[in-house]
Amino acid sequence: MSLKFIRVFVSSLRQHLPRQNNLLSGFQIRTITAMEVAPVDKKDNLVQDKNRTRYKRRRQWDDRKENGESQEKKTCDKPFERIKRKKMAMLLGYCGVDYYGMQRNPGVPTIEEDLLKALYEAKYITEDDFNNQQNAQFQRSSRTDKGVSAARQVVTYSYTLPTYVFESNVASEDERKAYRITSQKIDQVNEVLGYYKGTKSYHNFTEKKHFQDPSSLRYMMSFVLERVFMESEMEFAELLVKGQSFMLHQIRKMIGLMIAVVRGHTDISTLEKSFGKEKVMIPTAPGLGLVLDK
């Protein structure tokens, strides 16, 4: 039964499937004849373009003659003044009160703005140099923050502060005037400041820096309490820090952390931790006592 069924199925397929000849008969082959394109003579176009250009130039020359223009060179209305530039270095000192730092900042009073204005009024720089100081190759050796003064702006910084800030139990005005720092306290201050010596990462002592940033590495040569003196019936101390370079707020934060350690608000481990990878919040000392010494 199965063999008979297969034979019937095959014969049915032969009857219904189209033959190969019928498939081929449905196709029609057509030929397309390519159109002949007439060659274009490029030489004629070039000649026409040249003639048109010559005619245009001739018309321009005729128009200039009609307007009375000659081949003579025109002279400038204003004589040209050649400015001979010289590279100069300036040594200046300033009081930073009521100023927003050294660097020029549009919209706020700065030392650099007044300096450039004075140079322009004295005709040491041109108006273009005043508007764009880079034209005059203006450079500064360093910069100061808001309210910071400079004795000589050409890097050693000094910071002056009253000695009573090293004690946490001095509150009244009379106690502040009567306070006198001891030799033991001076030794303690110098011991804490000694931790800053050498090359360390000061990423926690500035803004927008991280531990792996190479620019956070700074070399401090020395940091000491230089002297103690009296002024207006109050005792003051002068701190002197010497380094290759400094970052924004770095010195003020170094002093702020030192005061916190000396007063007992934290210990020396916090200072050591500030040079590591961990983020440490450090207090910032006021900018009023900071002076760029030399």
Weakest mean pLDDT among 54-68, 122-136, 151-165, 244-258: 54-68
Examine the pLDDT at 22 and tell me if it is beyond 50: no
Q: What is the mean pLDDT of residues 27-47?
A: 46
How far apart (Å, rounded) are the C-alpha atoms in residues 271 and 292? 24
**Between residues 42 and 149, which one has the greater pLDDT?**
149
* 155-292 and 1-14+89-150 share a CATH fold: yes
Catalytic residue among 98, 145, 174, 187: 145
Examine the pLDDT at 294 and tell me if it is beyond 70: no
Q: Among 20-29, 34-43, 186-195, name the most confident range.
A: 186-195
Helices (H), 122-267: 127-131, 173-178, 183-193, 250-262
Confidence of residue 17 (pLDDT cuts 50, 70, 90): low
Q: Which residues are annotated as a binding site?
A: 157
Q: What is the mean pLDDT of residues 231-240?
A: 94
Identify the CA nearest to 281 among candidates 245, 246, 248, 253: 253
Q: Where are the domains of the chain?
A: 1-14+89-150, 155-292
Give me the CATH topology for the region 1-14+89-150.
Alpha-Beta Plaits (3.30.70)
pLDDT tens per residue across span 71-100: 555 555 656 566 667 767 677 777 878 888
Q: What is the mean pLDDT of residues 196-208?
A: 93
Task: Report, at the CATH architecture level, how domain 155-292 is classified.
Answer: 2-Layer Sandwich (3.30)
Q: Quick one: pLDDT at residue 192?
A: 97
Q: Quick one: pLDDT at residue 73?
A: 52
Q: Is 245 left (phi over 0), alpha (psi -120 to 50) or beta?
A: beta
Half-sphere exposure in the Cβ direction for 57 (13 Å, CA) = 6
How far, in Å, are 179, 192, 193, 270 from residue 261 at the CA level?
19, 8, 10, 8
pLDDT tens per residue across span 257-279: 999 999 999 999 999 999 999 99
For the chain, the residue count is 294
- State the pairing for strand pair 217-231/234-243: antiparallel
Q: Quick one: pLDDT at residue 52?
A: 59
Examine the pLDDT at 153 and tell me if it is beyond 70: no
77 is an active site residue:
no
Q: Quick one: pLDDT at residue 259?
A: 97
How far, in Å, are 5, 205, 227, 239, 249 from residue 253 at the CA level?
101, 6, 21, 14, 6
**What is the Rg, in whole angstroms, of the alpha carbon atoms belonging to the chain?**
43
Amino acid at 71: Q
How far, in Å, are 93, 214, 245, 249 from residue 199 at the CA level?
29, 11, 11, 18
Q: What is the mean pLDDT of residues 131-156?
A: 65
Q: Which residues are annotated as a binding site for substrate?
A: 157
DSSP 137: T
Q: Quick one: pLDDT at residue 292?
A: 74
| Assigned token pair, 224 | 């000491």
